[in-house]
């Protein structure tokens, strides 16, 4: 039986430089020509909040790994540090993970945060190892628009993101850029998972808001951050304060 651990953008539309990925991110948002066709669907977003210091997390990590090959899913592993005091400091934990999880807790009006927790499409959560419930939530997930992302070479490599027209969205949206990478097996010598080799997929190395999109369609450009270990970038477009996810996309950097 698992043990659940508790703890917690020429017409400028908007530019958010106060919350960059690292230092100041040069982001530009432009209106684009109206898109007539229905937007393609983006992958369903699965965010696993996990920790190498939590003995209940390995089954959730394995479940996430089993779902990672699916093209219709965008899986991300957010490692938190609030279990580091239990004898092992998670080498993949970053402050952005706990901040994002706490933000979801506020949005969902949850009194606590825990690991392993899976958040699906930014709106519902489940214990990260509860495969039956997670598969049901995936099947019931509302569709999101596909965010097309390309790279532009230059002195500084830049990403360009196409946000399609969204007729039903009337609020300002925040575009998150998430840099992630694969992780080889890591042996854990101390803490609750002492003696175990742990494996993770799509480990988040850095995450932050790169632009606020007030009107769609739009074109967003921002510089690629220099993040060690990142071999992919995920895009998440959602209502402010970690509201509903309305667009997703990804690009392999390998």
| pLDDT number for residue 177 | 98
Cis peptide bond prior to 211, omega within 30° of 0: no
Q: Copy the structure tokens of residue 25.
A: 């991110």
- According to the model, what pLDDT value does residue 183 have? 81
Quote the pLDDT of residue 184: 78
Put residue 126 in one of left, alpha, beta given phi > 0 → left and psi -120 to 50 → alpha: beta
Mean pLDDT for each 10-residue chunk of the chain (254 residues)? 42 37 52 56 98 98 97 98 96 97 96 96 97 98 96 88 90 96 90 96 97 96 92 96 95 92
Instruction: Give the CA angle between residues 112, 53, 125 to the nearest 5°.
Output: 35
**Interior CA angle at 202 toward 117 and 147, to 5°?**
95
Cα-atom radius of gyration of the chain, to the nearest Å? 18
| Helix/strand/coil for 216 | coil
- How is the chain split into domains, by residue range? 5-252
Measured distance CA(177)–CA(236) in Å, rounded = 7
Closest CA to 45 of 254, 242, 252: 242
pTM, rounded to two decimals: 0.86
Query: What percent of the chain lies above the pLDDT cut of 90?
Result: 76
CA 213 to CA 87: how far, in whole Å? Answer: 43
**DSSP-derived secondary structure letter, 164:** P
236: Cβ contacts below 8 Å, ≥ 6 apart: 45, 122, 175, 176, 178, 245, 247, 248
- Phi, psi (5° rounding) for residue 252? -80, 140
Closest CA to 210 of 184, 173, 245, 254: 173
Residue from 57, 109, 91, 108 nearest 119 by CA: 108
Nearest Cα neighbor of 181 from 225, 131, 124 is: 225
Q: What are phi and psi of 65, to 5 degrees?
A: -65, -35
- With contact defined as beta carbons under 8 Å apart, do 235 and 168 qualify? no
**220 and 182 in contact (C-beta within 8 Å)?**
no
Q: What is the pLDDT of residues 205-251, one digit of tens each?
A: 999 999 999 999 999 999 999 898 899 999 999 999 999 999 999 99
Residues 178-200 have pLDDT tens digits of 999 988 788 999 999 999 999 99
The H or E element that residue 204 is part of is strand 196-213
Question: Tokens 């279990």 — which residue?
Answer: 83
CB 96 within 8 A of CB 79: no
Quick check: helix, strand or coil at residue 85? Answer: helix
């Amino acid at each position: 039986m698992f043990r659940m651990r508790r703890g917690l953008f020429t017409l400028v539309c908007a530019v958010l430089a106060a919350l960059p990925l690292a230092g100041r991110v040069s982001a530009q948002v432009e209106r684009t020509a109206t898109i007539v066709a229905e937007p393609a669907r983006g992958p369903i977003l699965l965010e696993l909040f996990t920790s190498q210091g939590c003995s209940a997390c390995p089954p959730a990590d394995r479940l996430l790994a089993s779902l990672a090959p699916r093209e219709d899913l965008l899986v991300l592993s957010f490692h938190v540090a609030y279990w580091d005091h239990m004898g092992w400091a998670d080498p993949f934990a970053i402050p952005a993970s706990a901040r994002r999880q706490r933000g979801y807790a506020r949005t969902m009006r949850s009194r606590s945060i825990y690991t392993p927790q899976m958040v699906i499409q930014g709106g519902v959560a489940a214990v990260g190892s509860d495969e039956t419930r997670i598969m049901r939530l995936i099947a019931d997930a509302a569709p999101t628009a596909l965010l097309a992302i390309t790279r532009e070479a230059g002195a500084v490599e830049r990403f360009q993101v196409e946000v399609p027209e969204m007729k039903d969205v009337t609020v300002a949206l925040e575009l998150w850029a998430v840099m992630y990478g694969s992780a080889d097996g890591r042996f854990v010598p101390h803490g609750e998972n002492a003696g175990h080799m742990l494996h993770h997929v799509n480990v988040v190395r850095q995450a932050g808001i790169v632009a606020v999109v007030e009107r769609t369609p739009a074109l967003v450009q921002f510089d690629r951050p220099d993040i060690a270990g990142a071999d992919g970038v995920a895009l998440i477009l959602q209502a402010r304060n970690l509201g509903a996810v309305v667009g997703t996309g990804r690009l392999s950097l390998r």
